[in-house]
Amino acid sequence: MALEYTKSEAKAWAKKNFLGLEAPIFPSYTPDLSALDEDGIRWDVNHIIANGMMSIMIAPEATGMTYEERKEFVRIVNDEAKGRIITSVGALLDTVEENIAIMKYHEETGGTMAMLGHPIAYDPLDPEELYRNYKYMADSTNLAINFYPGRLRVKRFHPTGWPMEMLPRFAEIPNVTAMKFAGGTTLSTIEYAFRKVGDQILVSDPMPESWFTTIPFFGQQWAGAGPFYSMQTPEDQRCVRLFHMIRDGKLEEAYQHYWKYTPNAAEGGSMGDYLETGRVGPVETKYAMWCLGGNGGLCRQPARRLYDFTRQRTKAGLRAMGFNPREDDEEFFVGRCNYAKGYRLKRY
């Protein structure tokens, strides 16, 4: 499927179209975890769209899938999202070759962007080689690239975990259009990136606490990918409202909105962990999302087990925020769509 832009137009396209919040989508599985649950995945695509997100970031690396299943996950999301929302794919797989292949497949099936980071099977010799490797991957695709410096954590090159002096060179790659920092990155690091490359690419701090600085002072125009659906609903889009209040200069209103709702998020859900630590786990995220209308369902290992105290904490936090989370956890364990078809947990 043809993209709306060429490589030389990618930066201008992103500046015009990448405005708002981006949320990740994690795979749903059949109750026995033996295969992908297409209906559940499609449910979550529509739930994310209904939550007012401007982009979906497909996360094929987040839980145990074969490479063919990762491709199928990408295909399903792109098919359901077609023409309604931007889709990005997380190219954070095992090898350079897998990163390139998933980006090509994403483009073939209608995707628009890629969040590209270095793969697992990689250890750079020096910053120059780090740049050459990244440029090689970026040059392999026509997609707009969201530069992701997370995961690698090369502190031997720089205390921040990334050779910050290299940022301008990464930003000069024609199809590198945006840059995402992981939640929990220090504000000083974020501000440095805005100052160094904010006039070239769209830098994102996904943490709502930071938006009061990054939006009015540096013009941040997108945030994510983050589990914003863990602290809002389609009917009450609190994160979306907060972001656009600050973008519109309604700071007093935004402060009151933030203080009223977000402190209680620290008591529950993946968004609580996200606000406090920047860490997001797929199972905890899917549980909080299910509590507020998502499909739910467990993920294959090595995703963490969902403990009962995590579920209790999540629901308590959501109630403190004024929400009424779904109650029958068996529905979460098999997935909302499967539960509606009559599936239940096996009992022995």
pLDDT in tens, 178-227: 999 988 888 899 999 999 999 999 999 999 989 999 999 999 999 989 99
pLDDT value at 1 more than 80: no
pLDDT tens-digit profile of 107-137? 999 999 999 999 999 999 999 999 999 999 9
Residue 311 · residue 269 · CB < 8 Å: no
Cα–Cα distance measured from residue 78 to residue 86, given in angstroms and rounded to the nearest whole number: 9
pLDDT value at 278 more than 50: no
Reported as a pLDDT band with limits 50, 70 and 90, residue 7 is very high
Task: Note the CATH number of domain 1-19+54-223.
Answer: 3.20.20.70
User: Which string of DSSP letters, residue by residue, matches 87-113?
Assistant: EEEEE--SSHHHHHHHHHHHHHTT--E
- Domain layout of the chain by residue ranges: 1-19+54-223, 230-343
Tokens standing for residue 135: 């440029």
Q: Which backbone phi and psi does 62 adopt, to 5 degrees?
A: -80, -15
Reported as a pLDDT band with limits 50, 70 and 90, residue 264 is low
